[in-house]
Amino acid sequence: MAQQLLDRYIAGSSVIHALDARVKLVLTIALIVCASLLPVGAWLALTAFTALVWAAIIASGVGLPTILRRSLLALPFLLVVVTVIFSVPGRPIFRLPLGFVTLTATDAGLLRFITIVWKSWISMQAALLLTATTHFLDVLRALQALHMPKIIVALMSFMYRYLFILVEEAQRLLRARDCRSAALQGSGGGSLLWRAQVTGRLVGTLFLRSFERSERIYVAMLSRGYTGELRSLRAQTLDRRDLRVGLVVGAILLIITAQAFVG
Amino acid sequence: MAIHELELPKLHTTTPAITLNQLSFAYPDGRVALQNVSVTINSGEKVALVGPNGAGKSTLLLHLNGVLGALDGSVRIADVEVRRDTLRKVRALVGLVFQDPDDQLFSPTVFDDVAFGPLHMGLAEAEVRARVVWALEQVGMQGFEDRMPHHMSVGQRKRVAVATVLSMEPQVLALDEPSAGLDPRARRGLVDLLQSLSQTMLVSTHDMRLIAEVFPRTIILANGQVAHDAPTDEILSNRALLEEYGLEMP
């Protein structure tokens, strides 16, 4: 069950799945950087990026609706951006009276808002496509091959390995609590404070267990020759075809971005 | 000095594999875990370590590769004395397998885990890969290289846990409760595995049937001391002794 909750990977055998994880990772990051560099109102470039990402999503076979649904998760964070509608100077469009203060929306602000939301949304979809078509382990290996500091890659790999165990442990604790949370007919389930205390103790127990486990893992690492330096095998060489795909798509991204500044 | 430059000592049949001499240990909180433990185990011997929880079994195993340092007395593995400056050598000689395979298997894939030991011993890539294949074959888990531990059964995880130390080609295997939590079939597999391995073994367990099947010699540990050290047949046939230490007939 924890598996389905946490793993975003959707198995498949499309060209997007088969593309080398390093290429996918670099292209995703490139797209996010390019998108964020675009000036306000670069509608053509944004449309082109959207077309590119959607084409890739459709080619991957994971389903456009799936990615769009997942991308909705990020929308609440965009609420923060709503402020630019009112804070950027420009021609007023409408006023929002909020008692003691009146907010004035401007056309420039609105354009900037739409641009930012579109950029974030398309970046989000690109990242979601990456996680849906690339196994997390391959993303890790790609990060390592791209010289991400070893300690950070190691932390992410430990997180991935033990997240499932942690979730299962939490579920066991919750189940044990539920089994003993009987109520007499007609009586409530305890006060809010009491419930908060129970939850607090649960979290504390989980933390202590994780802490103890981390010590045992460290001992297991020491026992197998770990001395503070992490070693790993060399990455495989990059397939020529994958490299070419990466270069071509990368060039397209650059051209679209450059076009937005020229035009 | 890189570890691959270290000469691993050759085992002579006359040198005991494990020599514990008057070993004593107390935890930082003052709790005494081991008191004057002296044990000699010859090369190739398979020895069971029994005793109630808290008798010091795990603590003793942790001394074999220097994870815990003796407060008093000494530990020798083959002809290497366990000291701060010999730790890397000792850890290549002793394969320690922990009770919970989720502690032992900390890498995202089986391959990475079995390769961890050889990699950190400084072996070349081809050698590391060869050892992973060999070790997984030893425990009957070939073909599981790309699997993730949380997708495997407890029995499979235990086997891989043993492979993670076999790949270091240790001369001594120290296992903590290897049969705990296994269903009968997985347990049977483990018994066969332990019988097939030729390393010197010191195995802590509560599983008296496992002892009867695999280990010719048994050490009873009680309150941090060696209470009995005798051939397994002798211990298992002594009903009064078994009762005294809360052990069951197999």
Find the helix packing angle between A150-179 and A136-145, rounded to 10°. 160
pLDDT over 90 at B69, yes or no: no
**By the CB < 8 Å criterion, does A124 face chain B?**
no
For B103, nearest residue in chain A (alpha carbons):
A217
ipTM > 0.95, yes or no? no
User: How confident is the prediction along chain A (263 residues), in pLDDT tens digits per residue?
Assistant: 455 555 677 777 888 888 999 999 999 999 999 999 999 888 999 999 999 999 999 999 888 998 998 888 878 888 888 888 888 888 888 888 887 888 888 888 899 999 999 999 999 999 999 999 998 888 988 998 888 888 898 899 898 889 888 888 888 888 888 887 776 666 666 678 888 888 888 889 999 999 999 999 999 999 998 887 778 777 778 888 999 999 999 999 999 999 888 86
Query: Is A223 in Cβ contact with B125 (below 8 Å)?
Result: no
The model's confidence at residue B5, banded by pLDDT at 50, 70 and 90, is very low
Mean pLDDT computed over B190-219 = 93
User: What are the pLDDT digits (tens) for B151-198?
Assistant: 899 889 999 999 999 999 999 999 999 988 888 888 898 899 999 999
Query: Is A157 in Cβ contact with B149 (below 8 Å)?
Result: no
Cβ contact A249:A34 at 8 Å: no
Query: Is A231 in Cβ contact with B106 (below 8 Å)?
Result: no
- Using a CB-CB cut-off of 8 Å, the residues of chain B touching A135 are none
Q: For residue B17, what pLDDT is reported?
A: 92
**By the CB < 8 Å criterion, does A209 face chain B?**
no
Query: Is A222 in Cβ contact with B106 (below 8 Å)?
Result: no
Residue B3 domain-assigned (yes or no): no
Q: B168 lies in which domain range? A: 9-244
Query: Is A225 in Cβ contact with B120 (below 8 Å)?
Result: yes
Q: For residue A230, what pLDDT is reported?
A: 79
Cβ neighbours of residue A122 closer than 8 Å, sequence gap 6 or more: A31, A35, A46, A49, A50, A53
- Using a CB-CB cut-off of 8 Å, the residues of chain B touching A226 are 116, 120
Residue B2 domain-assigned (yes or no): no
The model's confidence at residue B3, banded by pLDDT at 50, 70 and 90, is very low
| Residue B51 parent element (H or E) | none
Residue B249 domain-assigned (yes or no): no
Q: In Å, how far is A214's CA from the nearest CA of chain B?
A: 8
Residue A263: name the closest of A33, A41, A112 by CA.
Answer: A41
Q: For residue A73, what pLDDT is reported?
A: 82
Q: For residue A263, what pLDDT is reported?
A: 63
Query: Is A220 in Cβ contact with B165 (below 8 Å)?
Result: no
**By the CB < 8 Å criterion, does A227 face chain B?**
yes
Higher pLDDT, A228 or B116: B116
Q: For residue B9, what pLDDT is reported?
A: 52
For A235, nearest residue in chain B (alpha carbons):
B125
- Using a CB-CB cut-off of 8 Å, the residues of chain B touching A224 are 91, 116-117, 120, 164-165, 168
User: What are the pLDDT digits (tens) for B140-154?
Assistant: 899 999 888 888 998
For B98, nearest residue in chain A (alpha carbons):
A220
Q: For residue A189, what pLDDT is reported?
A: 63
Mean pLDDT computed over B51-58 = 89
Query: Is A165 in Cβ contact with B116 (below 8 Å)?
Result: no
What is the domain-level CATH number for residue B174?
A: 3.40.50.300
For chain A, give every domain's residue range. Answer: 8-144+237-262, 149-177+193-232
Q: For residue A237, what pLDDT is reported?
A: 81
Residue B160 domain-assigned (yes or no): yes
Query: Is A161 in Cβ contact with B150 (below 8 Å)?
Result: yes
Q: Give the CB-side neighbour count of residue B109, counting CA atoms within 13 A.
A: 16
Which positions in chain B have a beta carbon within 8 angstroms of at least one beta carbon in chain A?
3, 62, 65, 67, 88, 91-92, 94-96, 98, 100, 102-109, 115-117, 119-121, 125, 128-129, 148-150, 164-165, 168
**By the CB < 8 Å criterion, does A9 face chain B?**
no
Q: For residue B168, what pLDDT is reported?
A: 93
Mean pLDDT computed over B97-109 = 91
Work out how many domains chain B is built from and give that number.
Answer: 1
A:B CB pairs within 8 Å: 76
Q: For residue A23, what pLDDT is reported?
A: 93
Q: Is the overall model pTM greater than 0.90, yes or no?
A: no
